[in-house]
Amino acid sequence: MNQEIYDLIILGAGSAGLSAGIYAGRAKLKTLIIDKNAPGGQILNTNEVVNYPGIISTNGPDLIASMKQQAINFNCEIIHEEIIDVVLNSQIKEIKTTDKTYQALSLIIATGAMPRKLNFPGEEEFTGRGIAYCATCDGQFFTDLDIFVVGGGFAACEEAMYLTRFGKSVTMIVREEDFTCAKTIGDKVRAHPKITVHFNSEVVSVEGDDFVHTLTYVDNQTKEKTVYTPKNNDAFGLFIFAGYLPATTLFTGKIELDAHGYVKTNEQLETNVEGVYAAGDLRIKELRQIVTAVSDGAIAATNCEHYLAKLKEEYPQYNVIEPKTQKKKESKNQSDLINQDLAKQLQAVFTKFKDAVTLELYLDDSDKSKELEDYMDNIADLSNKVMIEKRYESRSEMPVVKFKDHPISWHGIPAGHEFNPFILTMYYISTHQVPLEEAQKENIMKINHDVHIKVGVTLACHFCPDIVGNIEKMALVNPKIKVDVYDISLFSEFKKKYRLMSVPAVIFNDQDILFGSQSLDTLIEKTKEA
């Protein structure tokens, strides 16, 4: 029996996917969880969690970190790759990523949902110039400015309260006559001294130049319009939390979806395809909350376990070897950023390296330089295929880590969500394999002029790693493309120079700027035009 066939593959490492992994791993199923980003999904944007049973108060990142660790403790394998296709019309399911094809006897789809756009005039134009969709990613940009929040559900209310940390005022624009979340949350918002709420209201348009400077919204009952323009022509923030779109495009025509793209399941969370289950926000259901997502994951994994037991009775050849529990290996001089579990995962990646990768560190006497130095030293301690060269000097934009002999530099410390694309770039350099379609490689190689791409990110942004990873792939394929990634929370001058109010921000030759999540094909075309 081919040991590369898993009992279960879970697509998505949000709360539903990790919950499914915990239950599957505990049932001794050989389980693989795939997500192109770091685990978490929408929960990473949740600053305060107070309605999860048994936990008085926590935050999204901490809760998801605990879930991830539980899944790892039950021997789930978690990888970060982009899924490009699925084959579900046979007993053995195939999941194709940009790196390879994985096989499994069953599948749980937990890919979640993405923020919905409202498509009012100016929304697209001023995304990243005042309009944002992630308070955790972009809230800091609006410190001491007026902030507007569009939406009246749980996410909008929770984010409005979070944004009061930054804005001098927060105004909510709610289409309905009342909040659509739990009354306790709505009451908390009403009582907040920095929040004003306008019910029965909708955004008409936004206008501006470099940033939004005018917001027009209307009372949908009286039709009275309100035009807001800040004093002294200042900027302001407009955060949109108007629901989500299910991330199910990949499954169109392969499983049954409703007219809005949500997955249809029965009470056992089975789809219309045998051996394929769905869990979380992409499913048709009444309530989309963390507690219902983890419930979905548990139900899907338990019923999947029953399905596999019957399948293996009928086809004994499908009995795979149970995953072995790996002993933790200590890493010497580990920093706080490289814990034992992360060290174990890195060592597994480094065993696949072919050639050594050299990282050049440009350091000064700052605390951040010392932190970067310790961080990179700890990574190098895990493998003789990772080499470090250090240069101590005094210049702007320090500290920097550069991939030697490649036009890619990282300004700051590539931790948080940026850790995965950083390690993957090392892997691509070492193996001389960049996972791109042939047509994409050919298109990138057609760029015959020098292009300098700068990318502004924050470590809390879960949209940024995808952008950084794709642009670094482009630079590895075509040396005419130079890439500098900046953690703008450390480099305020960079943020001021390009007048950034959102991440990810991609700057081409110091001229054109592209904000937000973008496909690789879009990035290639923009680079060709630069």
The C-alpha atoms of residue 409 and residue 294 are separated, in whole angstroms, by 39
Stretch among 186-190, 460-464, 466-470 having the lowest mean pLDDT: 460-464
- pLDDT per residue as tens digits for the range 343-375: 888 888 899 999 999 999 999 988 899 999 999
- Cα 280 from chain centroid (whole Å): 16
* DSSP3 helix / strand / coil % (the chain, rounded to 5): 30, 25, 40
Cβ–Cβ under 8 Å, residues 246 and 282: yes
In the CATH hierarchy, which fold is given to the domain comprising 131-240? FAD/NAD(P)-binding domain (3.50.50)
- pLDDT per residue as tens digits for the range 288-336: 778 999 999 999 999 999 999 999 888 777 765 444 443 333 434 444 5
The C-alpha atoms of residue 446 and residue 129 are separated, in whole angstroms, by 31
- pLDDT per residue as tens digits for the range 124-167: 889 888 998 888 778 888 999 999 999 999 889 989 999 999 99
Instruction: Please list, in sequence order, all residues whose beta carbon lies within 8 angstroms of the beta carbon of residue 497, skipping any fewer than 6 positions away.
Output: none
CATH 3.40.30.80 fits 340-529, yes or no: yes
Report whether the peptide linkage leading into residue 399 is cis, meaning its omega lies within 30 degrees of zero: yes
Q: Give me the amino acid identity at 360.
A: E
Q: Which residue has the tokens 């010392």?
A: 370
Of 76, 80, 62, the C-alpha closest to 22 is 76
**Quick one: average pLDDT of 375-402?**
89
- pLDDT per residue as tens digits for the range 231-242: 877 789 999 998
Of 305, 320, 308, the C-alpha closest to 25 is 305
**Quick one: average pLDDT of 448-455?**
96
**Quick one: average pLDDT of 469-482?**
96
Phi, psi of 133 (to 5 degrees): -130, 0
Stretch among 316-325, 474-483, 489-498 having the lowest mean pLDDT: 316-325
The C-alpha atoms of residue 227 and residue 129 are separated, in whole angstroms, by 18
In DSSP terms, which residues pair with 93 in a beta bridge?
A: 104
Of 387, 382, 384, the C-alpha closest to 405 is 387
Q: Work out the pLDDT band at 45, boundaries 50, 70, 90.
A: low
The C-alpha atoms of residue 423 and residue 123 are separated, in whole angstroms, by 35
pLDDT at 42: 66
**Quick one: average pLDDT of 395-413?**
91
- pLDDT above 90: residue 416: no
Enter the tokens of residue 204: 């008409």
Helix H, strand E, coil C: the string for 57-95 is CECHHHHHHHHHHHHHHCCCEEECCCEEEEECCCCCEEE
pLDDT averaged over every residue in the chain: 88
Strands 451-457 and 505-508: antiparallel
The C-alpha atoms of residue 405 and residue 425 are separated, in whole angstroms, by 13
- pLDDT above 70: residue 276: yes
- Per cent of the chain over pLDDT 90 is 63
Largest CA distance in the chain: 75
pLDDT at 320: 53
Stretch among 135-144, 418-427, 471-480 having the lowest mean pLDDT: 135-144
The C-alpha atoms of residue 457 and residue 495 are separated, in whole angstroms, by 10
Phi, psi of 12 (to 5 degrees): 115, 130
**Quick one: average pLDDT of 379-402?**
88
pLDDT at 482: 97
Identity of the highest mean pLDDT range in 299-303, 487-491, 514-518: 299-303
pLDDT at 18: 96
**Quick one: average pLDDT of 196-213?**
93
CATH number of this structure's domain 5-113+245-317, picked from the four choices 3.40.50.970, 3.90.1300.10, 3.50.50.60, 3.30.2010.10: 3.50.50.60
pLDDT at 149: 97
Stretch among 37-51, 295-309, 356-370, 484-498 having the lowest mean pLDDT: 37-51
pTM over 0.85: no
The C-alpha atoms of residue 81 and residue 469 are separated, in whole angstroms, by 11
The C-alpha atoms of residue 63 and residue 43 are separated, in whole angstroms, by 8
Instruction: Give yes or no on whether 131-240 and 340-529 have one common fold.
Output: no
Q: Work out the pLDDT band at 48, boundaries 50, 70, 90.
A: low
Stretch among 147-156, 180-189, 282-291, 504-513 having the lowest mean pLDDT: 282-291
- pLDDT per residue as tens digits for the range 79-112: 888 899 999 999 999 999 987 899 999 999 999 9
Q: Where in the sequence numbering do the catalytic residues fall? A: 134, 137-138
Q: In the chain, where are the structural domains located?
A: 5-113+245-317, 131-240, 340-529
